Structure 1
């Protein structure tokens, strides 16, 4: 007994100091108020399940079918509803650190449904289960079993997390000790462990340990384009289920100095990851991708061979395009638009008030600078690369715009743009710093299109009917 408490004294000194400073068990980090469960106390009522978790829990008292077991060796996080918001003891003010709150929450987590366990102190859990013939029980430890002790005023309960040979590892919480802790003891020494007075184990379910790693199949490359490619594969794990899939990727150049670990998305049994050339120095040649799948029991497996993308054309690695968004009267910032898409409105008589423009440069040194003519203000100074030109919250219309490309490779491209202006409709395309709009006329701009093309290419094709063939601009 003395040895057991001495072991925890060093590991829990920080928590004990916190309890001395904060009365009624206030945990400084989470600001959770709890109180010690005293003899005769009860966590009354039924569990109030939060709306966010209501669809994810079942209502049966126990699950008879065997299920895979994932051990817990770390404290549950504050957002884990099994131990906090949906925990009967927590809802009654007896939350962690309390052994009953933790064991009840752990049972809830293991079963996936509200456990039918005692609502009283730990020293009553054993008799409550026996008297009501709820769960099987015995003196032999099993995974996920509730270990019960009655050797003190309130007793103690813990959960079996691992069994190795004649050693048992439990997880637990206690009012006079740690928020969360683990302990390992020898089978048969239970009575000399914890508070003594060992009663036995309550078997929540016939759990088994997942020893089978996930499987990975049908790895392939799809959607190869100027920006990158997509890796897809089928992943499965019939026991504990797939947790996440990683896609480490590198090129053969310079000794894997560009390796990245990308976490994929999972939809059903398909895992997917988008690989961008820009994350690998825009290297051409061989790209190697390995796939690592991890299940919820912590087991992992790797694809048997790497996936190699051969001889990527350098020209595919280089591209330049425009992206832009506008601030619109009564609407605010519209979603981002790209190369030639319309940003703004037509037929709604709503003014553009501001604009942000970016260049998506793949393998080129190209940027963008732009200036707008604003109602009552005139031409603004040039801004660049995503900065705001115009105003927000001042109800002032944009009346004209000038856009230039910048950077060492700017001369390799032309930037075309045209605006939809009040009373005129769509104006002609302007390019490379020319004015587009109605500066001096006082008419609002309502929409804009922007495109970047290789230098010398023809004017972009019209995507909408053009109402006039002249650009109305007048310097002021």
Structure 2
């Protein structure tokens, strides 16, 4: 009955010897269809740059065609949204693995939602979940300029906490003056110190 909320009515008839329906009695009941619900979780592997999104304990999905999970990074304002079709597991849950690289490797908050597609092909929202992510595959370092000597025209460029997932062979420091753009750019190779 299209899962309609509200009052339902039943009646009982008997069919007499001439084949006529004869009314006997009626009864009523109020009904509220269960609202769709699910548990939605996101786990991450920052070292692999992946997210595992799981929807389980699905309730009220009567007559659904499929489950969809849109996923995106807040940093990109939904322009990287992908509508995943998760795989149904033996326990009735649905799981999909997303890659940060498919979402521009953005740092920050990511959002997943779970929808079901009803018999008419309409997407019906059920729940949302969030997770924070820091891209571990991006090279990082801190940069500091000190010992600025105006008399000699020299300064020291200190690079610390250098990290690259593929290792570091050399560190190069391009340097130029603001005047006339980068016409005086010079690439210096930094010298590794005892403290790293």
- Greater RCO, 1 or 2 (C-alpha within 8 Å, sep 6+): 2
Given the two structures, how large is their TM-score scaled by the length of structure 2? 0.47
Greater share of helix: 1
Greater share of strand: 2
Given the two structures, how large is their TM-score scaled by the length of structure 1? 0.21
